[in-house]
Chains A and B, each alone.
Chain A
């Protein structure tokens, strides 16, 4: 069955979010690639090198690095279509703050936005600051929208590009963009598993814990200041801890017998949902983060775990094996209205509710017993398989713009972290070092 779409143009203009899906096999057609959204053709005329390299021994010039990172960010934004400037006759280099006459030809060839700039260390001193100037020309208004001027050490060169990319997305969508977001994850050090954080593109990994045993399944606070995660205290008991990124301070939120796993803060940060077997088998609980009052949400003989909040904060998706193998269920935030969401296959787990609310990603076991990513609408009406092939896929987590999913997979042997668009395109591996990287979780945007 082939993928086919229809557009109701008037409705699209009115509502902005209308799409029609022919449900079927592995066809994926999701909001990120919705037919009413036309990517904006954007050309990067060039980031001129003003001098200096990324590192004293490095050969990559600063402007070239910023241009490369900016191009990747622009492509991954899925807001812009990056136009190849070769053959467009755009003048590269030695451009001022005004649009070059050569842009005219590019505009005639359909380019809507032209970006250019310059970056580098102006003085001969290698310890001097890096300066970046970037400009944006909009063909629609036939004007320079404006520019940005960044300054900082060579350690923030990638951040300059990320920040510029997010400004572009913000200018054209009103959304903050994802280029400055982070991914927290678990990485193996010896036989221990510790928390790490990295940029959304896999760069700049930083170790957050050094406990020497197991720290598992981090989740962000909505303000990006904290992570909640499961930690094994003295190897024999599990606690749920809160870690403040800026200070490295830690607090224990849940400390009791049994499993205490899969914590998740609500979208407003006022509640912590988690699974605990302290009263027998794994059940869902909800803690008020202000009063510390705990409410039990589920009561049954099966294991309930992996709560994931709807963006409204009124519902959660979770895994339960109350009907045999694990399946995805929904529950209201007060514990009422439990209903099963997934019925296809005998193993569906690790749900992640999209930040736009319209899809839930989860791990589905295929008829060939492969653990892949699937997507389902909260009403259960549409279901699609997002990934295929060998390897165990796990821990899907949405980008804050709802256009990408990060997850772990053993597709290349060792467990590594991958990113995929929600339309199933642009599968990219983002970790390349280490023996085991898992449990990625995407930060909110800022």
Chain B
């Protein structure tokens, strides 16, 4: 079966019009300007945390001249990468800088993860495993959660985090949704068993924090899980 596809001229023109501002923005070139970073940090730097207002991300009202200049019979010298001196041909692309994060934040996270692992192992919490594409709790999962529910009820001071995990198959994005469904299925079953919901929180890691990184069903089955963690820190 043959099918004719004709893109109407107005659509093309419309797309070109819409694309033209995007085509003409100044280049962002990575340059790793460490001196500017040091200066920024010396001034206190930008916070790694939240800010109530954020900058204008729109294209409107900005310089729309292309950074390309075309060929010339007598070309002017263009300096690339910023710095130095030159005449009208100067090109000063922006650099990229590493985002300033909470100093020691990475180390603190690692320490908290280790503390959570230790606390969870000491509690004897058992994880729940799922079949491919599924977020239904299996019989084996119900047994594990019966054990977990008893521990939570006898440790009412503890806050429990239920992490939803997926195997490497499928898209990163959809696995975050599937991971949340798994974590919520675990939470809902624990609540059915009489656990107070306020003691439980859920988070989905999709396929981004696998327990096992080989390819194959053994590894996949290890990674499709609801992982129960005794919460440490915030």
Contact = CB atoms under 8 A, between A and B. Distances in A.
B58 A269 contact: yes
B70 A167 contact: yes
B174 A289 contact: no
A3 to B, nearest CB: 11
A311 B22 CA distance: 11
B223 interface: no
Interface stretch (A43-51, A257-265, A425-433): A257-265
Contacts of B101: 209-212
Interface in B65-94: 66-73, 75-81, 83-84, 86, 89, 94
Contacts of B170: 347, 349, 363, 365, 371, 392
A319 B172 CA distance: 12
A212 B111 CA distance: 11
B161 interface: yes
B19 interface: yes
A204 B30 contact: yes
A192 B208 CA distance: 9
Main secondary structure, interface of B, reads loop
Contacts of B204: 259
A151 B76 contact: no
A217 B58 contact: no
10 contacts: A149-B89, A175-B23, A223-B25, A253-B54, A269-B56, A270-B58, A277-B177, A305-B176, A321-B174, A439-B172
A248 B99 contact: yes
A349 B18 contact: no
Contact of B57 (A136, A191, A223, A232): A223
Contacts of B32: 206
Contacts of A175: 23
Given A208-B99, A224-B28, 7 more contacts: A146-B75, A153-B81, A167-B71, A170-B68, A226-B57, A349-B170, A400-B22
Contacts of B37: 248
Interface in B123-168: 133, 161, 168
A282 B205 contact: no
Interface in B1-36: 1-9, 11-12, 14-15, 18-19, 21-32
Nearest to B109: A212
B75 A289 contact: no
B71 A148 contact: yes
B121 to A, nearest CB: 17
B234 A234 contact: yes
B181 to A, nearest CB: 7
Given A152-B81, A212-B110, A303-B177, A15 B9 contact: yes
Contact of A147 (B66, B75, B84): B75
Contact of B81 (A155, A206, A277, A358): A155
Nearest to A129: B84
Nearest to A212: B106
Interface in A371-388: 371, 377, 381-382
A357 B15 contact: yes
Contacts of A163: 68, 78, 80
Contacts of B79: 150-152
A289 B55 CA distance: 9
Interface residues of A, number: 132
Contacts of B208: 193, 214, 216
A318 B71 CA distance: 42
Interface stretch (A16-24, A57-65, A70-78, A416-424): A16-24
B28 A443 contact: yes
Which are the 9 A-B pairs with shortest beta-carbon distances? A212-B106, A146-B71, A252-B50, A248-B97, A251-B54, A269-B58, A156-B81, A246-B94, A152-B80
Contacts of B75: 133, 146-149
Most buried by B among A146, A248, A410: A248
A148 B8 CA distance: 37
B136 to A, nearest CB: 14
Most buried by B among A153, A251, A371, A382: A251
A377 B71 contact: no
Nearest to B21: A222
B198 interface: no
A444 B22 contact: yes
Given A176-B68, A245-B96, A151 B80 contact: yes
A406 interface: no
A154 to B, nearest CB: 10
B62 A223 contact: yes
A187 B106 CA distance: 16
Given A15-B6, A147-B71, A312-B15, A255 B46 contact: no
